[in-house]
Amino acid sequence: MNFAEIIEKKKHREELSTDEIKWLISNYITGDVPDYQMASFAMAVWFNQMTSQETSDLTQAMIDSGITYDLSQVSGRKADKHSTGGVGDKTSLIFSPLVASFGVKVAKLSGRGLGQTGGTIDKLESCPGWTGEISNEEFIHNLNTVGISIMAQSSAVVPADKKLYALRDVTGTVDSIPLISASIMSKKLVVPADSIILDVKMGSGAFMKDLDSAIELSNTMIEIGKHHHRNIGAMITNMDRPLGRAIGNAIEVKEAWDTLHGRGPDDLVELCTTAAAITLMQNGIFKTIEEGKTELVKKLNDGSTAHFLKDFIEAQHGDFSVIENYDQHFTTKHAIQIFAKQDGFLKFNSTDELGLLSMRLGAGRARKEDSIDFAAGIYLHKSSDEAVKNGDLVMTLFTNRDDVANFEKDAYALFDINAQQTNEPTILKVMYNVSEVNN
């Protein structure tokens, strides 16, 4: 077996065997297949796609390049969730308590944010002492005792993906559906969850810009799940608007805490209860999504699931009192208020740019080595499609940086006030498979 034979087959749209894909990835990791050859392969995939079997085999080969987790000592069923990235996306902090309250354990690997997209690990680290750098034994213990555990993804998890993604980033092959799907699912399948819900973002604040591409990506990942005997659900959600009202780190944990006490914004409640309902349906708790959503909304309104978030953060050594006493711990030098200058309906021009503004305020990283100001961020007093009157407070920018005039100018450029509502839905499409959930 050699690279020349493999690239010839892929050039001519012939299906590669499991062994050929395994050979390719294992030899790429060792350096026997150099970057220039793998770049050629990635471009051939970009043009000629991969079959469902090939994509599944690529995913497995990438999983096999690193460690996997053994959760056989965790009692009961296990669930996972993944978002393809978004602005204001604190869904995991609400989804996890909701699902855990029904006895389904939530076991997750998460990452940090970069650029306009926030990371779950960064948000949780706004609670002093919280760490995702825990042992497998502690991961298992927390799942059995609290029902939730989130670990930071280590360099030992799917090293093939890290190496291949860096190559794709500089060779124009990031936007290949098979390569995106294998990248996402390889990192999900290292944790043996019974079900996985995928939140596939679409719009100006997401990688997928149109519905057809988001559907293709979702279907490809669902097929990978089937090949690996997992129940996979996917929601395509709207990222032409930020999710919820809080954008940042501590401010998003606070919004999650408020939502778990029945005080959450409608779009965030809808997304979280739908994701949790699909997961619970796939694990045999509910028969339909609507039945699940009804019960989950009740749990939010009575606040009965909120303690799971606090218990989980404290189990991983975080001081949750800073969230409970938010105003005492997260103050900033500047609180810049942005007002409406006419009547109408608010419309954000670019969710991407809103996230980038939050980054410039100090809430995100332009580079991996940048530090984060956990108190920085944005609170949206009005969001997309909401009616505003001249003089209404639209948003407040929280920052310890002194570039106030430019922050204010940037914020006013981010939105228009239109005469008509656009009535954009939060969830654009729901897709899932259910197989033998009670076995």
Active site residues: 82, 161, 168, 183, 187
For residue 376, CA distances in Å to 250, 275, 330, 372 come to 8, 28, 8, 8
Q: Map tokens 């997961």 to a residue.
A: 279
Is 192:78 a contact under the CB 8 Å cutoff? Answer: yes
Q: Map residue 231 onto helix, strand or coil.
A: strand
198, containing H or E segment: strand 195-202
Count, residues in the chain: 439
Kind of pairing between the strands at 377-380 and 246-248: antiparallel
**Residues whose CB falls within 8 Å of the CB of residue 329, separated by 6 or more in sequence, listed in order:** 250, 322, 375
CA distance 17 to 62: 15
CA distance 267 to 238: 10
Give CA angle at 361 (360, 367), nearest 5°.
Answer: 40
CA distance 210 to 378: 27
Q: What are phi and psi of 391, to 5 degrees?
A: 95, -10
Is 236:73 a contact under the CB 8 Å cutoff? Answer: no
Is 368:114 a contact under the CB 8 Å cutoff? Answer: yes
